[in-house]
Amino acid sequence: MFLPITKEEVNKRGWNEVDFVIVTGDAYCDHHSFGTAIIGRLLERYGYRVAVLPQPDHKSAEDFKRFGRPRLGFLINSGVVDSMVNNYSVFKHRRRVDEYSPGGKAGRRPDRAVIVYSNRAREAYKDVPIIIGGLEASLRRMGHYDYWSDKVRRSVLLDSRADLLIYGMGEHAILEIAEALEGGIDISQITWIRGICYRTGQEGLANILPEDRIELPDFEEITESKKAYAHSFKLQHDNMDSVTAKTLIEKYPGNQYVVQNPPQPPLEKAELDDIYALPFENEWHPSYNSEGGIPAFREIKFSVVSSRGCFGGCSFCAITYHQGRQVRARSKESIVRECKALTEKPDFKGYIHDVGGPTANFRFPACSKQITKGVCNHKDCLYPGVCKAMKVDHEDYIDVLRAVRKLPKVKKVFIRSGIRYDYLMADPKADRFIDELVRYHVSGTLKVAPEHISDRVLYYMRKPGKDVFLRFVEKYKAANERLGLRQYLIPYLISSHPGSTLEDAVELALFLKDYGFVPDQVQDFYPTPGTMATCMYYTGLDPMTMKPVYVAKDLEEKKMQRALMHYNKPENRGTVVKALKKAGREDLINVLLNDKRKRTGR
């Protein structure tokens, strides 16, 4: 049975009121890839009556009264994607499709959905606690650069007028908050829980904050000084681990403060198994059938989340800021049990689309030290090379994949959430995993993400050098030849990343030509809240060193860098010529534009 989304469905359960209303910018899919489903099912497990208000009419407060006054509170998120990213392309054009809406129809969620929904909920019931969470709230929990308005905005906790903000993975925090509210504690007094942010005044600081707290630069300071902004980012970056993080405070005009408590510890294996065993329907709500269902759900319906967290450290990725660097995974038994249930679905065609996570081949913490002492603040696990203390082993993941492959009705198990090839190449038994990957888990083409090949750009991306990528390519090619298969490899690439000059883009174009690669997707760098690369984009500084970084912000140059990656496309010819002339590389015009070879990837 789905969680109720209408008053009629609430009445059928015999409820005269609900405890929590979860408001979300997505359509309601009862699947563990959606935070709404996880939080709703978890609260239900503990006896709370939960209703879901998906994509409400935000033009007034009326829809927020659909279930009556919630007894304990509104829980508000924008959906699985930041609403601004969901609504706008990197060039700030409004998107025509919303993959998380019925029939893919755009326009069903507002810009800055967390703020809009929270203010409407406050209009509906002034005294009901409002707790915001999910990706949008998590990444905007402190003062942050907002690409769409091109300015530094306040913590979303202030603009939303919410009472509390849950950041990161919210299972522990929401249960503690629910228990406190159930016990009659006023929402304004709930300040001790890990993984939350709250507002307070000058008096509150003296009464409730630990002595070892860290004061971030004031909001006024980070709006006036890009150096102060970069410094603030580094302080936050160094305080994201549950073992070592301190309480952070950010001051605002009028003696307002936003306080960020240290993060919750990651869920351990048994806890993750329990979460993913909750009674999800693994379907979109049937009310969407008439509109063609939810496009994004079709890909994830037969996918399994096997882990959380990522120690990859890519500067353009927000996973570190949201899920953390400590990896935890579900047990083989839990994963196999879910896959077996998927095979019983009437529309199962024999294919498990993914068994993975933020990075598919990460299954445990990078090293044993992380568990007791936390992650290293001033050292990356994989950059500039694989740390000597890292445990590199794919045997557990191979064991999981083999167990899923053996299930009746399973024809093929794909890995689509990404293989971190530098981690793989550090495994003494890399050939063993690559053989399994090539033989059983590739559907004609493997997609990997070198992102770039220029050493200068890779430095700012915190990605391995191109030599590691090329060694992986050769092993992948050799495995295909050994197994008598003809499968290709296609790279994901990012153009105009901070640090990337036109010279770097030309270098990448030549690399693609020389090795016969055709990028499947080229993403122009998108400055989203919470990432190190976005900090570089806004400030022109590397927050780890405070040294200047070149940033391509001119629209014409951004188009040039992007066109060079697809130099063989006729529609890019004029832009490519212009780029090569600007870079002083007229000698390459004929070299690139007369490349008539059919490039299909290695």
The model's pLDDT over 291-340, given as tens digits with 9 standing for 90+, comes to 999 999 998 999 999 999 999 999 999 988 899 999 999 999 999 999 99
Reading the block at residue 295, the tokens are 């496009």
CA 387, 390, 393, 394 torsion-angle sign:
negative
* pLDDT tops 60 at residue 602: no
Strand (E) or helix (H) holding 373:
helix 369-373
Residues 147 and 14 sit within 8 Å (Cβ to Cβ): no
Question: Does residue 498 belong to any structural domain of this protein?
Answer: yes
Q: How many domains does the chain have?
A: 2
Residues 36 and 77 sit within 8 Å (Cβ to Cβ): yes
* pLDDT tops 80 at residue 416: yes
Q: Given this model, what pLDDT does residue 418 score?
A: 86
Residues 565 and 493 sit within 8 Å (Cβ to Cβ): yes
Question: Does residue 557 belong to any structural domain of this protein?
Answer: yes
Query: Token match 């000698």: residue?
Result: 587
Read off the pLDDT band of 44 (50, 70, 90): very high
Q: Given this model, what pLDDT does residue 490 score?
A: 87
Question: Does residue 31 belong to any structural domain of this protein?
Answer: yes
* pLDDT tops 70 at residue 147: yes
Q: Mean pLDDT, to the nearest integer, of 91-105?
A: 96
Question: Does residue 19 belong to any structural domain of this protein?
Answer: yes
| Residue 88 exposure: Cα atoms within 13 Å on the Cβ side | 17
The residue among 260, 286, 304 that closes a domain is 260
Reading the block at residue 87, the tokens are 């609504």
Specify the 3-state DSSP secondary structure of 54.
strand
Among 199-208, 209-218, 468-477, 525-534, the least confident range: 199-208
Q: Which domain holds residue 37?
A: 7-202+256-260
* pLDDT tops 80 at residue 207: no
Total Cβ atoms within 10 A of residue 220: 14
Q: Is 300 exposed, middle or buried (0-12, 13-18, 19+ CB in 10 A)?
A: buried
Residues 6+ apart with CB under 8 A from 124: 61, 62, 64, 65
Q: Which residues pair with 50 in a beta bridge?
A: 20
Roughly what angle, to the nearest 10 degrees, separates helices 332-343 and 269-276? 10
What is the rounded distance in angstroms from the CA atom of residue 149 to the CA atom of residue 39?
Answer: 31
Reading the block at residue 314, the tokens are 């890519």
What is the rounded distance in angstroms from the CA atom of residue 251 to the CA atom of residue 261?
Answer: 15
Residues 487 and 446 sit within 8 Å (Cβ to Cβ): yes
The residue among 230, 245, 260 that closes a domain is 260
- The CA angle 64-42-175, to the nearest 5 degrees, is 85
At residue 100, φ and ψ (nearest 5 deg) are -100, 15
CATH number of the domain encompassing residue 29? 3.40.50.2300
Q: Given this model, what pLDDT does residue 14 score?
A: 96
The runs of H, that is alpha helices, within 77-170 are 83-87, 113-124, 134-139, 156-160
Write out the DSSP string of 565-583: HTTTSGGGHHHHHHHHHHT
What residue type is 510 in one-letter code? Answer: L
Residues 166 and 159 sit within 8 Å (Cβ to Cβ): no
Q: Given this model, what pLDDT does residue 456 score?
A: 96
pLDDT, one tens digit per residue, over 152-196 is 999 999 999 999 999 999 999 999 999 999 999 999 999 999 999
Q: Given this model, what pLDDT does residue 196 score?
A: 98
CATH number of the domain encompassing residue 595? 3.30.750
pLDDT, one tens digit per residue, over 275-287 is 999 999 999 999 9
Q: Given this model, what pLDDT does residue 191 score?
A: 94
Longest dimension (CA), the chain: 76
The residue among 221, 238, 260 that closes a domain is 260
Question: Does residue 382 belong to any structural domain of this protein?
Answer: no
Q: Which residues pair with 554 in a beta bridge?
A: none
Strand (E) or helix (H) holding 538:
helix 532-539
How many residues are given for the chain?
602
Residues 6+ apart with CB under 8 A from 475: 425, 430, 431, 434
Question: Does residue 174 belong to any structural domain of this protein?
Answer: yes
Q: Mean pLDDT, to the nearest integer, of 211-236?
A: 96
What is the rounded distance in angstroms from the CA atom of residue 117 to the CA atom of residue 587?
Answer: 56
Read off the pLDDT band of 377 (50, 70, 90): confident
Reading the block at residue 56, the tokens are 């409400």
Strand (E) or helix (H) holding 436:
helix 430-440
Average pLDDT score over the chain = 94
Question: Does residue 109 belong to any structural domain of this protein?
Answer: yes
Total Cβ atoms within 10 A of residue 161: 14
Question: Does residue 535 belong to any structural domain of this protein?
Answer: yes
